[in-house]
Structure 1
Amino acid sequence: MKERALVERDLWRAIEAVHAAVYFTPDAKSAYREIGLRGYWMGYFASRSAALGAPGPRVVTALFYGFAPRMVERALPDAWGYATPAQVLDTRQDLARSALAGHTQDGLDDAAGLLSSVLAALDVAGRPLAAAHLDVPVPADPVGRIWHAATVLREYRGDGHVAELMAAGIDGVECHRLPGGSLVPQQREFRGWTEQEWADAGERLADRGLLDPDGGRTPEGDELRAEIERGTDRSAAVALRALDDADLEVLGDALRPVARSLAEAGAVPYPNAMGVARA
């Protein structure tokens, strides 16, 4: 039997893939346009932050961590003049169901029930994005419930990852330089950083001995990145304490096929700007 930590790592990858499908669906831009939002990125920032109410760019930049402030400022607070947070959340949930259609199977009730038990026991102290999404009304249908739970848990793990990055002294642009080739080549553009900001981040990491002159990770960089991931895993594992080994197996058996189907269809591409690893 696989070590529990490895089972959990596989499950987190599946959870992240299920959540991430909403960002890659080709229907996203048009769906958000229909409620008045302008462009894909306004839809992204508004939809991911709407659970917080109608936050401004400073709060969203702080919580999302890896985006250049100017990129967020192009979307917020203007988005809230075009659509209400409730409209945005409803549209996002509909997009998620559509994105997952054809990738799920019958018999998701047990998985949805287990995820509900995880959310019921979840301590979100210090995890603002997870807390906000935990307060979003839970859909009645199994696919909607699973996506809602995957979203809460994805943000829970993400909140913990941001804490690990801050503790390691890795800022919002450096966090894209340290992973190297596991991210898309357009990562700088997708996160709104200038060429100079990107180069400066590389120089700072090189000065710390984390990158070599060619921009690749040094052994020290490898170890720091591995420790950030280990810390993120340790922090995230707390969320799954409500599940025994048999429960984890049931959840994994339900969600891994969904993640594989999404990957095989290109509905969640790999590599990607989110750094979601293939399940």
Structure 2
Amino acid sequence: MIARRMWTLFEPLHAVTYFAPECRAAFEEAGLRGFWRGYFGGRSAPLGAVGAAPVAAMFFGFAPRMVERALPGLWELAAPEVALRARAEGARAALLRLLPEAAGDLAEAAGLLRQAAEAVDTAGRPLAAANAALPWPTDPLDVVWHAATVLREHRGDGHVAALVVAGLDGCESLAWRAALDNDRRLLQQARGWADDEWTLAEGRLVEKGWLDAAGRPTEFGEAAFAQVEARTDVIADDVWRGVDTGRLVELLAPLAAVAAEALPFPNPIGLTKQA
């Protein structure tokens, strides 16, 4: 489905926000020192000076106490408008360094991505709605990043909804991915869950029939998760109707490949080098 293919292309363009040195430097200059202050401040800033509880709910996979260590305290260090400016400036600086000048027509890519981003249905998608409500920049490079951000939060909100429908909570979703195709050490540390919480989540997955007694994925679990992924794709697909996705893939593929150089692999996002 085209929605999944497009995700592999716009996600790296957005994700430089969290990993590129220019972005981290911009957050630090704004007063948000440390990776997680920049992450929580930059990602939640479109919502305003929000507290920990709604952010933990929307971000889904994080242990609530990890969010509470950052919010709402970080707003005393940098107001939401300061964090928004820092993330935009950092992303621009990173993409200016990373993207080759000859990697397609950036203005055309910006126009096509904006067309898709302006088509998002934000009902029930709070992170997408908050980002979509921000003013559009004018420079094509900034438009590409902003559109990628709206689209990734739109897809992410939909994925959370699909996980909830499947009966999974945040820690269970991570324990499942660790058993399926990722690394527990990476996911557990990156999302702040304690060993006992992780063990309990694995136990609940066994009770649900997703894992067997040895902690391996079952056929039932794999089929159920395939439905989650398929549902995520289906409800993210409408935005691409009317967009020349063939041309957009041509334009974004080289940009995404270069932007991915700023990302760690493996990562908790789920992106792979092959994407």
Instruction: Tell me if both proteins adopt one fold, taking TM over 0.5 as the criterion.
Output: yes
Residue 19 (structure 1) aligned with residue 18 (structure 2): no
8 Å contact kept, 1:51–1:133: yes
8 Å contact kept, 2:23–2:94: no
CA drift of 1:277 comes to 4.1
- State the alpha-carbon separation in 2 of the partners of residues 198 and 206 from structure 1: 13
Correspondence list, 1:189-208, <5 A: 189-208=189-208
- State the alpha-carbon separation in 1 of the partners of residues 94 and 215 from structure 2: 36
The runs of 5 or more residues in structure 1 that have no matched partner are none
- State the alpha-carbon separation in 2 of the partners of residues 26 and 269 from structure 1: 12
1:201-256 per-residue CA deviation (whole Å, 9 max, x = no partner) reads: 0011011221123322111111111110000000100121232xxx1011111111
8 Å contact kept, 1:182–1:271: no
Aligned to 1:105: 101
Correspondence list, 1:1-279, <5 A: 5=1, 7-100=2-95, 101-106=97-102, 107-180=105-178, 182-184=181-183, 185-243=185-243, 247-263=244-260, 265=261, 267-278=262-273, 279=275
Q: TM-score scaled to structure 1, two decimals?
A: 0.91
The runs of 5 or more residues in structure 2 that have no matched partner are none
- State the alpha-carbon separation in 1 of the partners of residues 119 and 166 from structure 2: 29
Give the letter aligned to residue 255 of structure 2: V
Q: TM-score scaled to structure 2, two decimals?
A: 0.93
- Kindly tell me the number of residue pairs found equivalent between the two proteins: 269
Give the letter aligned to residue 101 of structure 2: Q
8 Å contact kept, 2:61–2:173: yes
- State the alpha-carbon separation in 2 of the partners of residues 182 and 134 from structure 1: 32
Structure 1 residues 155-164 or 175-184, which shifts more? 175-184
Question: What is the percent sequence identity of the aligned residues?
Answer: 46
**Distance change (3 Å), C-alpha of 1:157 and 1:104:** farther
RMSD (Å), alpha carbons: 1.5
